[in-house]
Amino acid sequence: MRSIIQYNELWRVLHQKKRSGGVDWDKRAHSFFRTVSGSTEAETLLPSLNLTDSDTVLDMGAGTGRFAIPFARFVRHVTALEPSVEMGSYLEKGMKEAGLTNYSIVRKRWEDVEIGKDIPVHDIVFASNSLGFSDLAKGLEKLDAVAKKAVHLLWFAGPERHPMDPELKKRLRRENDSAFQPDYIIIAHVLHDIGIYANIRIDPIKTRHRYDNLEEAVMWWSERGDISPDEIPILRTFLSEILERTDDDRLVMQRSRYRARIWWEKENRAE
């Protein structure tokens, strides 16, 4: 039966609206790495993935290696798919510092990857906040096709991936602004429409974003909050008031949000 709401088309529209200007991940690599450095999210998640030392894992959109590096400590091989050269360089450096060699990096977009040629089928497929393709249904079907055992996805829950602090909204006079980005529920609907009935779990998580200095924090939030040049001084003042200084003279921000974990096991798929 055809769905009344075309969720894949809704995703496409929202994706195009959000990505109309594109994202330069090479440019963002340094700030992204600094922000997530020290994160223990991967270690917290690992038990639920049921990884074994004989597994192969594909990390689709691996970024700077926040998950790929911890995974490589427990499995036979990790393939990190990451088209950004700069993001991949941080990943490679992290693997070397951890003394790990059981990994490979494929520098391609998921849409351009050919299964069986660019990457083989893997036991486990993992993707954290990296479903950056406009045709979600096609991308998800491809993820399913390259997984032998299971697929695990992480995405945000709620109307915004990076919700703005209410006080900052007030100072920017954006209290009445409404924003809606494609959160996990659209992914769940698209999976349902293509015949994949996934498990879903929503967890509250707390993170500590780290910045080398105030200007790095300003740059990070201005990029993700669509802050205009005229609004930068307001953002800078706000961040200077709320950021905490660490013993090593860096700045941190405590954040609370909700994370959706979506997963399905291939042996439980209805044919």
Lowest average pLDDT, out of 14-28, 31-45, 178-192, goes to 14-28
**pLDDT for residue 248 is more than 80:** yes
Structural domains in the chain plus CATH codes: 7-162+180-211+256-266 (3.40.50.150)
Tens of pLDDT, residue by residue over 135-162, are 999 999 999 999 999 999 999 998 777 7
In which band, very low, low, confident or very high, does the pLDDT at 223 lie, cut at 50, 70 and 90? confident
The percent of residues above 70 in pLDDT, for the chain, comes to 94
**pLDDT for residue 237 is more than 80:** yes
The percent of residues above 90 in pLDDT, for the chain, comes to 62
**pLDDT for residue 270 is more than 70:** no
List helix spans (H) across 151-210.
Answer: 166-171, 184-193
Tens of pLDDT, residue by residue over 71-102, are 999 999 999 999 999 999 999 999 999 999 99
User: DSSP state, 227?
Assistant: -
The set of residues, in sequence order, having a beta carbon less than 8 Å from that of 201 and lying 6+ positions away, is 260, 261
pLDDT, residue 18, reads: 62
What is the pLDDT averaged over residues 179-185?
81
CA quadruple 139, 140, 145, 146: dihedral sign: positive
**pLDDT for residue 1 is more than 70:** no
Residues of 169-207 as b/e, b for ≥16 C-beta within 10 angstroms? Answer: eeebebeeeeeeebbbebbbbbbebeebebebeeeeeeb
Does residue 17 or residue 145 have the better pLDDT? Answer: 145
**pLDDT for residue 268 is more than 50:** yes
The whole-model pTM stands at: 0.87
pLDDT, residue 20, reads: 46
Tens of pLDDT, residue by residue over 41-55, are 888 899 999 999 999
In whole angstroms, how far apart are CA 204 and each of 41, 84, 157, 255, 256?
12, 29, 9, 11, 7
pLDDT, residue 210, reads: 84
Average pLDDT, the chain: 89
Question: Looking at 82-198, which runs of residues are DSSP E strands?
Answer: 103-106, 122-128, 147-156
Number of H helices, E strands in the chain: 10, 8
Rounded to whole angstroms, the Cα distance separating 117 from 127 reads 20
**Environment class of 147 (CB within 10 Å of its CB; exposed 0-12, middle 13-18, buried 19+):** buried
**pLDDT for residue 39 is more than 80:** no
pLDDT, residue 220, reads: 84
User: DSSP state, 158?
Assistant: S
